[in-house]
Structure 1
Amino acid sequence: KMVPCGNAVCGTIDRTFNSSGEYKSENIGKQLVRSMVPDGKGNYAGRVWRPSNNKVYIGKMTVNGDRLKLSGCIAGGLLCSKQTWAR
């Protein structure tokens, strides 16, 4: 669930799914996307929490129509793991 947080956007895990469908993860309610500040062109920069290893990474986010691309990066943003979400 993406919501404004000050002048940025933050996202909390609202629902979780696996290959069998929706399930109740222990991560529901935790903040995944942190302080993503917009640049006015559909791009955002902030932090992203990765539940599988409990680490926070440099975050990048791009919005295009009903698609959101989210990246968690290391090495100053050179190496990124990406996901695309649909509204």
Structure 2
Amino acid sequence: MIRKFMIATALVAMAAGSAMADPIEGNWRTQAGSTAQIASCGGSYCITLKSGKHAGRQIGKMSASGGGKYAGQITDPESDKTYKGKATLSGSSLKLGGCVLGGIICRNQTWNRL
């Protein structure tokens, strides 16, 4: 009886864990018009282009900082340069930024949830 209860509890916990996806996860329309997928990967969130010229390429990895903010690295697929990146989630918009030289030179984009 106890064993059945423990198995049932474990199954419920696994189902609840998969249903509680982070709000950043999903498909996003990039500023260039491509589709990017953000998915959980080893305790972080990997950003992979799903359409466009660089489809299939992973272009970033972010970790949650709290309060809808994320930090990590982002790669410009055109130049193949990787930058210190950050992202801020606000409703169905995701503002991404990448900086070099200690934050002196930055580029920002806003993506929209699909």
Give the alignment's TM-score, normalised by structure 1.
0.82
RMSD, matched Cα: 1.0
| Matched residue type, 1:30 | R
Deviations 1:2-26 (A, max 9, x none): 001122111100122xxxxxxxx2x
Question: Equivalent residue for 2:91?
Answer: 65
Higher helix share: 2
Question: Equivalent residue for 1:21?
Answer: none
Higher strand share: 1
Deviation at 1:78, TM superposition (A): 3.3
Give the alignment's TM-score, normalised by structure 2.
0.64
Q: What runs of 5+ residues in structure 1 fail to find an aligned partner?
A: 17-24
Q: What runs of 5+ residues in structure 2 fail to find an aligned partner?
A: 1-36
Question: Equivalent residue for 1:19?
Answer: none
Say which one has the larger Rg: 2
Point out 4+ residue stretches in structure 1 off by more than 6 angstroms. none
